[in-house]
């Protein structure tokens, strides 16, 4: 036990001497949140839109008005002809074009059901899908409006309306989804990278060999490495929570205690992973490379910005081996819904098992032999 204390003391003394750690703990969370929080906007907006109005009627003007006043589209004005529109799409000048046919209003009144064409640049399938859905919805609302004026049967028309209520994020802002995720990613990257680099550095300069010939126990060595970095992870989380609050005005809705306990459980697996990576590498450069590869995988398959349900089932199966997958769920649920332990125990259990296995594996690999 005494040996452990000396190990931890040594680690903190070393950490204190490296100026970069201060930057990592206190500046990184702000920088990451600022860059990622603003750049990762899953909400689609400002898609350039043109409308071809071949009718020039009050109905067509009404339609133009309906489409031009939304955030989703950046209305660029009317285009002279549909031939022109295709050119604009080709040149990437616009992404959506709506063509209102000639005699639109007349046909509408006569009940001849005119056809409105919508051209969407499908290169970015996601944006295209959202644009299509929005076009359909707006078209629908217009129909309902016009029922009164044009159908003459409005008294008999039966209307079913949907009243959506968006829970936890009423304005559908993606920052609520992204910001807690960034905190999780930050903790993953920092803890895994720092431990891997730290151990490999001892290997490079030869102090690890020196430690191995001392009567110190394997578990003391592992714990002596893990505990100091656990403290760093927690400090990082504290700074991160404040940064998220200050920059984005997003605060934890649920229990802070639960969040911290879960972070500790999660950090076990990333710290274990870092140690594991360090046993495979001989130079800091290699360690960084290995840790980097792991983190790309962990990030993409975590549900951070690509929902896991959308992935093919074999990829989904792989994600169960990703501890970040569980932590992303936990941190989001605690942050946004204020969920308690009873709602999250399965994820917590999976993380704990993963962390335990990781640390056991790391201890086995980091035996006191070369």
Of residues 84-103, those binding another protein (CB under 8 A) = 89-92
Candidate residues 81, 84, 117, 317; the one interacting with another protein per rule CB under 8 A: 117
Candidate residues 19, 83, 215, 249; the one interacting with another protein per rule CB under 8 A: 215
Q: How far apart are CA 103 and CA 54, in angstroms?
A: 8
Pick the stretch among 31-39, 237-245, 255-263, 354-362 that binds another protein (CB under 8 A). Answer: 31-39
Determine if 282 is a binding residue for another protein (CB under 8 A): no
Candidate residues 19, 58, 165, 257; the one interacting with another protein per rule CB under 8 A: 165
Is residue 112 classed as helix, strand or coil in its secondary structure?
coil
CA atoms within 13 A on the CB side of 305: 18
Of residues 140-159, those binding another protein (CB under 8 A) = 140, 143, 146-147, 150-151, 153, 155-159
Determine if 173 is a binding residue for another protein (CB under 8 A): yes
CA-atom Rg of the chain in angstroms: 28
Determine if 40 is a binding residue for another protein (CB under 8 A): yes
Of residues 221-260, those binding another protein (CB under 8 A) = none
Which of residues 157 and 261 has its CB atom nearest to another protein in the complex?
A: 157
Pick the stretch among 160-168, 238-246, 272-280, 353-361 that binds another protein (CB under 8 A). Answer: 160-168
Question: Closest separation between CB of residue 228 and another protein, Å?
Answer: 13
Pick the stretch among 19-27, 46-54, 227-235, 259-267 that binds another protein (CB under 8 A). Answer: 46-54
Q: Is 70 exposed, middle or buried (0-12, 13-18, 19+ CB in 10 A)?
A: middle
Q: What are the tokens at 113? A: 């059901």
Q: Which 8-state DSSP code applies to residue 75?
A: E
Q: How far apart are CA 257 and CA 248, in angstroms?
A: 22
Q: How far apart are CA 313 and CA 309, in angstroms?
A: 8
Determine if 80 is a binding residue for another protein (CB under 8 A): no
Describe the strand order of the beta sheet including 73-78 as a list of residue ranges. 73-78, 47-53, 96-100
């Amino acid at each position: 036990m005494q040996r452990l204390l000396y190990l931890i003391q040594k680690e903190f003394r070393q950490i204190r001497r490296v100026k970069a750690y201060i930057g990592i703990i206190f500046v990184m969370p702000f920088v990451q949140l600022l860059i990622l929080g603003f750049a990762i906007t899953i909400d689609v907006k400002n898609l350039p839109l043109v409308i071809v109005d071949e009718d020039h009627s009050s109905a067509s003007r009404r339609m133009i008005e309906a489409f031009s006043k939304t955030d989703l589209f950046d209305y660029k004005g009317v285009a002279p002809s549909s031939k022109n529109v295709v050119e604009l799409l080709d040149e990437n000048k616009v992404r959506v074009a709506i063509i209102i046919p000639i005699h639109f209003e007349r046909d509408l009144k006569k009940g001849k059901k005119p056809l409105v064409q919508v051209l969407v640049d499908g290169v970015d399938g996601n944006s295209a899908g959202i644009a299509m859905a929005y076009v359909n919805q707006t078209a629908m609302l217009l129909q309902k409006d016009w029922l009164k004026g044009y159908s003459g049967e409005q008294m008999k028309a039966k209307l079913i309306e949907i009243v959506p209520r968006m829970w936890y994020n009423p304005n559908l802002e993606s920052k609520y989804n992204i910001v807690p995720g960034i905190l999780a990613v930050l903790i993953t990257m920092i803890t895994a990278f720092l431990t891997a680099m730290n151990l490999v550095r001892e290997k490079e300069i030869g102090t690890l060999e020196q430690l191995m010939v001392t009567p110190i126990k394997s578990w003391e060595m592992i714990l002596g490495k893990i505990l100091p970095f656990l403290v760093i992870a927690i400090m990082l989380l504290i700074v991160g929570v404040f940064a998220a609050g200050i920059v984005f005005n997003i605060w934890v809705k649920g229990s802070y205690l639960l969040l911290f306990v879960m972070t500790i459980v999660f950090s076990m697996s990333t710290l274990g992973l870092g140690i594991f990576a360090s046993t495979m590498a001989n130079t800091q450069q290699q360690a960084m490379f290995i840790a980097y590869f792991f983190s790309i995988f962990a990030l993409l398959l975590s549900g951070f910005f690509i929902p896991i349900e959308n992935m093919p089932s074999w990829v989904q199966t792989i994600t169960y081996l990703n501890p970040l997958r569980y932590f992303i769920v936990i941190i989001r649920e605690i942050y946004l819904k204020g969920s308690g332990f009873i709602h999250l125990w399965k994820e917590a259990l999976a993380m704990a098992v993963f962390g335990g296995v990781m640390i056991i594996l790391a201890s086995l690999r980091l035996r006191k032999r070369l």
